[in-house]
Amino acid sequence: MKLTDLDNPVRASWLADQSFRLDPGPYISDSYAARMFLKRVPRTEPLGEVTEGIFNAGRFKRHYTTDPGHGVPFLSSADIFQADLSSLAMITKKSFQAMPNLALKPGWTLITCSGMTAGRVTYARLDMDGYACSQDVLRVVPDVEKIPAGYLYTFLASPFGVSMIKGGIYGTSVKHIEPSHIVDLPVPRIDSQIEQQIDVLIQEAMLLRSRFQAGITDATNDLLKSAGLSELIDFNWHNEPRDLDFSVSGLTSTSLRALNYSPRAQRLIDALRSVPHRTLGEVCGGGYLGSGTRFKRIDSDSRYGVKLVGQRQGFWLRPEGRWINPNHSPLGIFAADESVLIAAQGTLGDSEVFCRAIYVTGEWLKNAYTQHFLRVVSGAVDFPGAYLFAFLRSEAAFRVMRSMSVGGKQQDLHVGLRAQIPVPECTLADRERIAGTVRQAYRWRDEADLKEDRALALLDEAIREAAR
């Protein structure tokens, strides 16, 4: 049951504004309540007056490519929330140049404007500079002479901003938001020093997230180079000869599926086996290599529960899972420190997360994780989970795991084959250095999240103080 906010109670003026309707619907609307609350702030400005523009790129024909020399990374309305941007699809430079509005610039606020997730808010990071972005994303370009970019983003991403943005959604099966629906959103103007303080926090978070991206990429490249596999750093699966007209001898009952004997994948496996290595099963001996626990979800309030992160949300910058009661769930819902979780159920599209890896440490240890993740926990003290992650996030490891899938529409990883994945060993000093790079990257990520949370808390406090 939804109740009105006691800090923002229904007032007599609201009744008049709604033609004295007595049904509760309009008065517990988050959008309406937010607008009424912001009327109590001494100074607000329409969104359109503090921006240089609010627009989407417009519809266009997408020509995709797999050649980095002829392509531009392309962000869909889901990709803008991804933590790791290293595996994006690409559109041709010709397609990109034909639509100048596709390009992003750091600091813009991005709002999804089509589909069931319309109204989600994030910002263009430093790593997104010059990337192409879908027409399903609204760009809000701040006028930095009038308002700090980080402050504007923080307001639009706050409960006040998101509520009003979603209040403009229209459509039935496919939801939409147009620029004209949000151009008049009231943006509260508070003390300029506080606005600048919020902006600084967001700018610092943006820089830390850029360092995070560079850190995990450097760790993977360092691992492959140290292992003597430099040719796999820029490995492009689609440049390899297609798997046509091949034969396999010596088959066993392990698998009769042609995909599991892909020549392209076998060449990768042979390359990994050509250097000193251990199998994934050996590394996880004494640790764990298996799926999570199946369990019944009992929903809970966020004050008392834990956030349940699924395969899709696990790859987001800030996951938005449901909250469940941990007291009615098995212990296996949590992940051990330095666990690698692999999306182990899904389909084989290149944009799907199936066989992609995430790393759990720091603040993410508080989350619960669904059984659909393959838990990879090292059992060897000299083989850190951070080092394992640096390998398992590589394109080579991703393609090897994809070749080990079983199932029909929904794929899974073959229990026997996944344990045979060769993991380059490198030297102990290499492993510690690479693991250290990953750990530092994730400390930067946690610090960035903390700074963004501080910015949101500072904004909320300042707005409520101004509205008194």
**pTM: predicted TM-score of the whole model, two decimal places:** 0.91
b/e code 184-195 from CB counts within 10 Å (16+ = b): ebbbbbbeeebb
pLDDT of amino acid 65? 95
Please tell me the distance from the alpha carbon of residue 240 to that of residue 66, in angstroms, as a whole number. Answer: 11
pLDDT of amino acid 164? 92
- Using the 8-state DSSP alphabet, how is residue 241 labeled? P
Token digits for 3?
């109740």
Please tell me the distance from the alpha carbon of residue 417 to that of residue 256, in angstroms, as a whole number. Answer: 12
Element (H, E) at 211: helix 192-226
The residue-averaged pLDDT of 259-288 equals 96
β 132-133/71-75 pair status: parallel
Please tell me the distance from the alpha carbon of residue 62 to that of residue 59, in angstroms, as a whole number. Answer: 9
pLDDT of amino acid 370? 94
Q: Find residue 187's DSSP bridge partners.
A: 45
pLDDT of amino acid 1? 41
Please tell me the distance from the alpha carbon of residue 56 to that of residue 421, in angstroms, as a whole number. Answer: 44
Token digits for 250?
């010596």
Does the structural domain 41-189 have CATH classification 3.10.20.30? Answer: no
Domain-by-domain residue ranges, the chain? 1-39, 41-189, 211-243+258-445
* 172 phi and psi angles, rounded to 5 deg: -105, -85
The residue-averaged pLDDT of 25-37 equals 75
Percent of the chain with pLDDT over 70: 94
Looking at the predicted structure, is the pLDDT value of residue 266 above 90?
yes
The residue-averaged pLDDT of 223-246 equals 94
Candidates 32, 112, 53, 49; CA nearest to 80 is 112
Could you check whether 41-189 and 211-243+258-445 share the same CATH topology? yes
β 405-407/339-343 pair status: unpaired
Taking only the tens place, the pLDDT of each residue in 164-208 is 999 888 887 788 999 999 999 999 999 999 999 999 999 999 999
Q: How many CB atoms lie within 10 A of CB 106?
A: 16
pLDDT of amino acid 29? 72
Taking only the tens place, the pLDDT of each residue in 405-431 is 999 889 999 999 999 999 999 999 999
The residue-averaged pLDDT of 448-461 equals 98
Please tell me the distance from the alpha carbon of residue 319 to that of residue 73, in angstroms, as a whole number. Answer: 23
pLDDT of amino acid 117? 87
**Architecture field, domain 211-243+258-445:** Alpha-Beta Complex (3.90)
Please tell me the distance from the alpha carbon of residue 445 to that of residue 212, in angstroms, as a whole number. Answer: 6
**Are 34 and 4 a contacting pair, CB within 8 Å?**
no
Looking at the predicted structure, is the pLDDT value of residue 460 above 90?
yes
pLDDT of amino acid 28? 54
Give the HSE-up count for residue 284: Cα atoms under 13 Å, Cβ half-sphere: 21
Looking at the predicted structure, is the pLDDT value of residue 304 above 50?
yes
The residue-averaged pLDDT of 270-278 equals 97
pLDDT of amino acid 222? 98
